[in-house]
Amino acid sequence: MRNFKQIDITKVKTISIKSRKSKVTPDAFAKVYEPGKNSLQSFLGSFPNILAAKDLNLFVDIILQARKKNKPVIVLMGAHVIKVGLSPLIIDLIKNNIITAIGMNSAAAIHDVETAMFGKTSEDVAENILDGYFGMARETGELINVTLLQSSVQTDIGYGEAIGMELIKRKAPNLQYSILASGINLNVPVTVHAAIGTDIIHQQPTMDGAATGEMSFRDFKVLCNAVKDLVGGGVVINIGSAVIMPEVFLKALTVTRNLGYKTAKFATANFDMLPQYRPFMNIVTRPTQAGGKGFNFIGHHEIMIPLLYAMINERNKK
C-alpha cells in the first residue's frame, strides 16, 4: 500500500498568545442576572458584548440616535408579526415617536382588521382547505374589499389609510390593537402592499382587482415619500416579510434615488426566523452598499421583537 507523503510541521513558527489579536475577552462575557430593583435594566445589561448581542445593542443605539436627529425609522412587516401578538408593541413605539412609518403586506392588514373587528384571527388552514372554505370569512372580505372599492373612486387616500379610517368609523371593539387605526390617530403613515391572488379576500365575490391595485399603488407612493427622507441617516427594519416588503422597499428606494434624493448612509435590519435571500439582499446588503450598515437577526418574532422593544424603551428613558 502507498503511504501518501505528509508535510513536515516541525518547523512551523508559533507566536505568543500575548501578542496574538483575540476577539473575545472576559469583559465582554455575559453578566449574572440579578433580579430585584432595576431587574429589566440588569437583564438587558447582562448580555455578552459579542456577535448578535453586540450587534443588537449597537442597532438600538442607531435607532435612538436616528430619532434624536429627526431621521425616519421605517418598519416593514409581514403578517406573522400580528399573528403572534406584537401589535401593542408596534403601536407603543409609534406613540413614543420611535416608528415614523410602517409598510405591511396585505395579509398583515387582514389580521389587523380581524383582530380589531372580531377579536380573533388566523384560521386553521389545514382544516378549512379540505372543504373549500379556507379564507371565506365573508365579513373580512366585505369590509376590506368594499372599503377599497369605495375609497378608490371617492377619495385619493391609499389602502392603509382607507382601512384604518373605516375601523375607526365602525368603532371596532378592539381598536386599540389595530396598527392601521393607530396610524390614523397618531398621524403616522401605515401602507399596505397587495400582491393580487395571495390573500383570502382576493378569492371572494367582493374582490375588485382594479380597486385593490389602485389603492396599493397609492400606498407605494406614500411609502416612497417616507423613504425619500433616508438621507444621511435613518433606519429601515423588516420584520418577517420574506418577499413582498423587501421587494417593495428596494423599488421605493430606487424611485427616490431616481428622483434625485440622496437616500444613503442609513441603517437597515432584518428580523426573521430563518435566513432568507431577498431580505438579506434587498434589506441588509444592497441598500447599504453606498454607505450605512445592515444587520441580520435570526430568531422567533415573539421573542426578538419584545426584546428589541424593551431595549429601546429602557435606553430611551435614560
Domains in the chain with CATH codes = 31-40+50-316 (3.40.910.10)
Distances (CA, A) of 14 to 6, 11, 25, 300: 20, 9, 21, 43
> Distance between CA atoms of 292 and 233, rounded to whole angstroms?
8
Inform me whether the pLDDT recorded for 119 exceeds 70: yes
**164-198: pLDDT as tens digits:** 999 999 999 999 999 999 999 999 999 999 999 98
pLDDT of residue 21: 78
Higher pLDDT among residues 139 and 64, named by residue: 64
* Strand-strand pairing, 266-272 and 101-105: unpaired
Answer whether 239's CB lies under 8 Å from 77's CB.
yes
294: helix, strand or coil: strand
pLDDT of residue 126: 64
Distances (CA, A) of 275 to 3, 76, 240, 278: 44, 17, 11, 9
Answer whether 193's CB lies under 8 Å from 219's CB.
yes
| pLDDT grade for 30, boundaries at 50, 70 and 90 | low
149: helix, strand or coil: helix
What pTM, to 2 d.p., does this model score? 0.90
Task: Give 71-124 as a DSSP string.
Answer: --EEEEE-THHHHTT-HHHHHHHHHTT---EEEEEHHHHHHHHHHHHHS-----
